[in-house]
Structure 1
Amino acid sequence: MSSPAHYNTNVQEQTSRPLVREGVAYSIPDQVARFANAKATNDTRYLDITTVYDGSGLKDKRVLITGAEQGLGLELVKEIIKQGGHAIQAGRGSSEALDAVAAANPGQVTIITGVDVCKTEAMQKMVEECTEGLDILINCAGYFYGPVEAVGIGCEGHMNYAHQMLQIDVCALGPLRITHALYKGGKLERNGKPAKVIIITSQAGSCEWRFTQNPTPKSGDQFDGNYGHHMSRAATNMMGCILSQELKAADIPVQMLHPGFNRTEMTKKYAHIWDIEGAVEPELGAKRVLYETLRADMSTSGTVINCEDGKRIPW
């Protein structure tokens, strides 16, 4: 078997130093080394997104977000309306926090409920209640199964196949259902201009990075396999890549974004490594996502970008 990182067989170098392949800058796969490198090089864009972020491009934009009841999605709503845009939440329900934001900003927030990204029959309701075209679609709804999954080498291990399938349904098929319905409903354009399609994915979907981020355990050690999470995000990335090829014919860019490590309920089981891996509060994570959203165009369509440093993540 050839080296998984065929462009560089030095494991230490490939995991802890920035990489350039065919003129494209790639992010560092080792999260701890990536954050340490940012501090060592004083990468202000990585360490403090507010030094480069300009949200003025969101003014008067209509942005539909799935999964905006809490966490990153909720912070996206807050930032969009702060910049003078109109945020539309499409999800199964709302939340007290989202309702409060909507009440405090009349006319800037639309909440569409009853939209389960796993149910194709719910898509028409979303299309009908999204009464105008969109400038941006952000597929943010996701699901991360709590317990760590592993076959168990010298230990018990744990697998939940039902939740693995659910993660694939939510994270990969969900954005496809949403995007498909909105396109066929004529909502992925506004004032004659094609919308941008953003898919929130994860570095967990990179097959190449598994050799760094999922090191082989010693017998009896707990292996952080998280099979469902990684498989679902690999499926997300494949879907987004294919979708970008089709929507290219309509001049609609499809940008996949790893939002970075955010201190949310979804990542709470990894709170013990938040500091060493540079996890940020979700309001900063939202600015990272929106910074890359505003930059996304046809030249980057179909790629996976790390919102921490703006560099590519390999397949």
Structure 2
Amino acid sequence: MTTQTNSHFMASDVPSQQGRRVLITGANSGIGYEAALELARQGAEVILPARSVDKAEGAIARIRREVPGAKLTAGVLDLASLASVREFARTIGERFPGQSLDLLINNAGVMAVPQRELTVDGYERQFATNYLGPFLLTALLFPQMRQRRGSRIVTVSSGVSNQGKIEFDNLQGERSYKPMFGAYSQSKLADLIFQLELQRRLTAVGSPVLSTGGHPGYAITNLQASGPAGQSPLGFRIISAILKPFASQDAAHGALPTLYAATAQSVEPGGYYGPNGFQELKGYPVAAKIAPAAKDLSLAKRLWAETERLTGVTFSL
């Protein structure tokens, strides 16, 4: 249930984050950057990995111009490479040993890559970057999550998860490839399934850590140009041009569902949040529509097992 207060949640409503250590992927731009900025503004120590040191340091410099005393740590992480995820998790474990993380936000992603691409591991780029990498990162970092009330794992999905379908015979786009309402929507549905199944497993073992999530609606960020040479599919660009004038919002407002899921006291275990406007495209964060497939328990268990196989990790809580 959402309240009138929740429906007008703003960045200024983020409670104090003093004493909390946050790791957020994709924080060098877009909604990830805006979320990192607000968390730092409220006193959180923020770890900001990016695909290069320069990108991570650039984001840190921009945040420090806004928040001079911010506690920020750069890192290198390419979610499309399982080896990179493992190496990054190892470095975090060495630098911040033991139970040292209060908040993990799986935010980084790519969208509507025009032509099918395979990662170094042989996986379709969107499925690998948006889902397999975050799953592996969460599994490897979970032992470092502080087992106390207030600790959260936030997974950013998308409104197009409602159009997604998990095709086990086409997970890597090997049978057919559709950039947006195929590979991308499948990867974001997988994120939502993961968020909900993770909460079920956390509840089953009595962990105080919450698994929550959200989607930004139609936020104007560089994600829309994340394909090769910044080129999104023609059909997607046409739809975007039509919707943009009246149904879009900037990255700062797009970050609000993530910030709400990460910090609001009224968030429920497994809660999923998005904008309250028309078709959840823009507005203030409220409980978002959950695709029926994301509630399928047998599908969730099958996907979890297949993901463990693909990533080579056993995610034990």
- What TM-score do you get using the length of structure 2 for normalisation? 0.66
Unaligned residue ranges in structure 2 (runs of 5+): 166-177, 226-236, 277-284, 292-317
User: Match of 2:78, SS?
Assistant: coil
- 8 Å CA contact retained: 1:257, 1:307: no
* Deviation of 1:116 (Å): 2.1
User: Relative to 1, partners in 2 of residues 1:292 and 1:242: Cα closer, same or farther, differing over 3 Å?
Assistant: closer
Query: Which of 98, 107, 131 is the aligned partner of 1:140?
Result: 107
Q: How does 1:193-204 map to 2 (within 5 A)?
A: 193=149, 195-204=151-160
User: What is the RMSD computed on CA atoms of the aligned residues?
Assistant: 3.2
Query: Which of 88, 93, 104 is the aligned partner of 2:52?
Result: 93
Alignment-derived partner of residue 115 in structure 1: 77
* 2:129 is aligned with 1:170: yes
Equivalents in 2 of 1:107, 1:293: separation in Å? 22
Equivalents in 2 of 1:296, 1:169: separation in Å? 32
- What TM-score do you get using the length of structure 1 for normalisation? 0.66
Query: Which of 250, 259, 268 is the aligned partner of 1:300?
Result: 268
Equivalents in 2 of 1:273, 1:285: separation in Å? 15
User: Match of 1:183, SS?
Assistant: helix
Counterpart amino acid of residue 121 in structure 1:
R
Query: Which of 257, 274, 287 is the aligned partner of 2:256?
Result: 287
Q: Which moved more, 1:54-63 or 1:251-260?
A: 54-63
* Deviation of 1:231 (Å): 0.9
Alignment-derived partner of residue 232 in structure 2: none
Q: Which has the larger radius of gyration?
A: 1
Number of aligned positions between the proteins:
244
* 2:186 is aligned with 1:231: yes
Identity of aligned residues (%): 21
- 8 Å CA contact retained: 1:115, 1:126: no
- 8 Å CA contact retained: 1:140, 1:200: yes
Equivalents in 2 of 1:193, 1:130: separation in Å? 20
User: Relative to 1, partners in 2 of residues 1:307 and 1:87: Cα closer, same or farther, differing over 3 Å?
Assistant: farther
Alignment-derived partner of residue 312 in structure 1: 288
* Deviation of 1:73 (Å): 0.9
Alignment-derived partner of residue 129 in structure 1: 95
- 8 Å CA contact retained: 2:16, 2:43: no
User: Relative to 1, partners in 2 of residues 1:225 and 1:202: Cα closer, same or farther, differing over 3 Å?
Assistant: closer
Counterpart amino acid of residue 257 in structure 1:
G
User: Relative to 1, partners in 2 of residues 1:66 and 1:75: Cα closer, same or farther, differing over 3 Å?
Assistant: same
Equivalents in 1 of 2:262, 2:211: separation in Å? 10
Q: How does 1:1-315 map to 2 (within 5 A)?
A: 49-50=9-10, 53-94=12-53, 95=55, 97-101=58-62, 103-104=64-65, 105=67, 108-117=70-79, 118-119=81-82, 120-122=85-87, 123-130=89-96, 133-147=100-114, 160=116, 162=118, 165-184=124-143, 187-189=144-146, 192-193=148-149, 195-207=151-163, 226-248=181-203, 249=205, 250-267=207-224, 269=237, 270-277=240-247, 279-295=248-264, 300-308=268-276, 309-315=285-291
- 8 Å CA contact retained: 2:214, 2:257: no
Alignment-derived partner of residue 295 in structure 2: none
User: Relative to 1, partners in 2 of residues 1:87 and 1:121: Cα closer, same or farther, differing over 3 Å?
Assistant: closer
- 8 Å CA contact retained: 1:79, 1:286: no
User: Match of 2:214, SS?
Assistant: strand
User: Relative to 1, partners in 2 of residues 1:170 and 1:225: Cα closer, same or farther, differing over 3 Å?
Assistant: closer
- 8 Å CA contact retained: 2:155, 2:195: yes
* Deviation of 1:67 (Å): 0.9
User: Match of 2:77, SS?
Assistant: coil
User: Relative to 1, partners in 2 of residues 1:272 and 1:265: Cα closer, same or farther, differing over 3 Å?
Assistant: farther
User: Match of 1:64, SS?
Assistant: strand
* Deviation of 1:165 (Å): 1.8
* Deviation of 1:261 (Å): 1.6
User: Relative to 1, partners in 2 of residues 1:67 and 1:295: Cα closer, same or farther, differing over 3 Å?
Assistant: same
User: Match of 1:310, SS?
Assistant: strand
- 8 Å CA contact retained: 1:133, 1:188: yes
Equivalents in 2 of 1:172, 1:242: separation in Å? 14
Equivalents in 1 of 2:5, 2:145: separation in Å? 34
* Deviation of 1:71 (Å): 1.0
Which protein has the bigger helix share?
2
* Deviation of 1:276 (Å): 2.4
